[in-house]
């Protein structure tokens, strides 16, 4: 199956499932918010893993104000990371992407932080559209499930990736510093 067809089929399943839940449960329900986020995760994950975008934008470079991680600590990223460990996500993630001290493994891990951040950003902005629609049409209170799940399932994971990437980049630089340079 071609990669375009595979991605197309997955996106069709995502759209059909989300529309079915919206029609059955309503766009203001917890179930809709949950299904929307997880179906979009499935769709975006399929897209990013199929097309392997280079993700070389300067957006992904750490800014001075975030390099020490203080801003992320203030927003509770450490607490969120502890929750991920508690629910078993870190163990699951480490099994899928084991951390090794080789340069290639660290570069791959750093790239996966970019992939993850890219995916969660796309999902965040897609979910923001129905959140605003529900907020205007049904009222702010009815959009709370969409808003809260969007923050928990997308904004915080972006923060985790932004927190982790400078540490991975520092480790990559450290390993590169120990490797002999071959003359040409």
> How confident is the model at residue 183, as a pLDDT?
46
Residue 64 domain-assigned?
Answer: no
**Which of the four pLDDT bands, split at 50, 70 and 90, describes residue 100?**
confident
Residue 116 domain-assigned?
Answer: yes
Q: What is the pLDDT of residues 30-76, one digit of tens each?
A: 999 999 999 999 999 999 999 999 999 999 988 888 878 889 989 99
Number of domains in the chain: 1
Residue 68 domain-assigned?
Answer: no
Residue 118 domain-assigned?
Answer: yes
Distance CA 55, CA 155 (A): 19
> How confident is the model at residue 182, as a pLDDT?
52
Residue 69 domain-assigned?
Answer: no
Residue 63 domain-assigned?
Answer: no
> What are 88's two structure tokens?
């078993």
Contacts 24+ apart (CB under 8 A), 171-175: 171/106, 172/103, 172/106, 172/107, 172/110, 175/101, 175/102, 175/103, 175/106
113 contacts 161 by C-beta, under 8 angstroms:
yes
> What are 65's two structure tokens?
């104000």
Q: What is the pLDDT of residues 114-170, one digit of tens each?
A: 999 999 999 999 999 999 999 999 999 999 999 999 999 999 999 999 999 998 888
> Containing domain of residue 95, as a range?
3-53+74-177
Residue 66 domain-assigned?
Answer: no
Residue 167 domain-assigned?
Answer: yes
């Amino acid at each position: 199956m071609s990669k375009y067809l595979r991605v197309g089929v997955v996106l069709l399943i995502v759209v059909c499932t989300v529309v079915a839940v919206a029609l059955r449960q309503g766009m203001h329900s917890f179930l809709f918010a949950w299904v929307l986020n997880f179906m979009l995760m499935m769709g975006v994950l399929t897209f990013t893993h199929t097309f392997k975008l280079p993700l070389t934008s300067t957006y992904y470079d750490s800014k001075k104000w975030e390099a020490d991680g203080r801003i992320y600590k203030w927003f509770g990223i450490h607490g969120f990371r502890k929750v991920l460990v508690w629910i078993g996500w870190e163990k699951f993630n480490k099994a899928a992407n084991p951390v090794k001290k080789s340069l290639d493994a660290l570069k791959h891990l750093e790239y996966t932080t970019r992939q993850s951040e890219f995916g969660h950003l796309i999902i965040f902005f897609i979910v923001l559209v129905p959140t605003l629609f529900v907020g205007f049409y049904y009222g702010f209170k009815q959009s709370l499930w969409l808003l809260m799940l969007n923050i928990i399932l997308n904004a915080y994971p972006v923060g985790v990736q932004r927190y982790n990437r400078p540490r991975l980049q520092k480790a990559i630089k450290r390993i590169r510093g120990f490797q002999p340079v071959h003359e040409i």
